[in-house]
Amino acid sequence: MIEFIDVHVHLRTGDKARLEADPYVISNPEGLSDHPDAMAEMYRELNGMAVVFDIDDETRTGLKVSNAEIAEWVAKYPDVFIGFGSVDPWKGKAAITEVERCADLGLRGIKFHPSVQDFAPNDPRFDPLWETCQRLGLAILLHTGTTMAAAGQPGGGGIRLDYGRPIPYIDDIAARFPELRIIMAHPAWPWHEEQLAILRHKPNVYMDLSGWAPKYIPQTVIQYANSLIQDKVFFGSDFPMLTPHRWLREFADLPLKDTVRPKILRDNAARFFGLQLNDQ
């Protein structure tokens, strides 16, 4: 029986698969393998599923990723993996073509990291991306809040944190593309209050709780997840930065209603992806 759906899991492809570690992901301290075969086995043992993706930031890093490889891993482990593609928004028409190819590959959404990819999501020049995703029924997963990518490097590696701010960037997109399903990745600290406002105001916007050990999630996020936005919040770990083991252990200690806990762990994501699980 599937007990949880982790909507935020990094899988390295293309050039990144040949690196010792993803330069933008802090390896998990428990030392668990991030090889897709090992990840599939880990989630299967935990009775979970995982949304897997890479991040196409070739303009910034020169590293190529492969959405085809994501699709291949999903085909190999369809009982465990749900696939998202990723495109570099600076590739223009090629990015649009790649979004369309992701849909043809059976991927369910597209992952973006505005701070790492160095773009303002609400810039009108990127509207064709959102229009294409909306037309094809592909969800988008957008990083929000601060990031540990390049943290501590001179100038933060040139990464601008403000591109992860929910207002105006996410709010503008949600308003202009009301049929586009948007997941805000992570509690958007230090702008999590803006994030909560969008979740209350825009029916097409959701959030995941990835990247934060549950005991550190801002209290207002927990309060709203336990009440007003309980149907719009997903479990996410951010593996391999944070393991699902630790996240699930700490999540069990949060002061959540018994009716809310299964929604966050599984039911909200199952409904979002149209999954018919055995016991539902």
**Helix or strand or coil: residue 42?**
helix
CB-based burial label for 37 (10 Å; 0-12, 13-18, 19+): exposed
Q: pLDDT tens-digit profile of 225-263?
A: 999 999 999 999 999 999 999 999 999 999 999 999 999
Q: Which pLDDT score, from 0 to 100, does residue 49 have? A: 98
Q: Which pLDDT score, from 0 to 100, does residue 200 have? A: 98
CB-based burial label for 275 (10 Å; 0-12, 13-18, 19+): middle
Q: Are 103 and 135 in contact (CB under 8 A)?
A: no
Domain ranges of the chain: 4-273
Q: Which pLDDT score, from 0 to 100, does residue 24 have? A: 59
pTM above 0.85, yes or no: yes
CATH architecture for the domain at 4-273? Alpha-Beta Barrel (3.20)
Q: Which pLDDT score, from 0 to 100, does residue 208 have? A: 98
Q: Which pLDDT score, from 0 to 100, does residue 149 have? A: 84
Q: Which pLDDT score, from 0 to 100, does residue 224 have? A: 98
Q: Which pLDDT score, from 0 to 100, does residue 148 have? A: 85
The CA–CA distances, whole Å, from 153 to 42, 150, 156, 211, 267 equal 33, 6, 5, 20, 40
- Which residues in the chain land under pLDDT 50? none
In the block, residue with structure tokens 């994030």: 195
Q: pLDDT tens-digit profile of 124-149?
A: 999 999 999 999 999 999 999 999 88
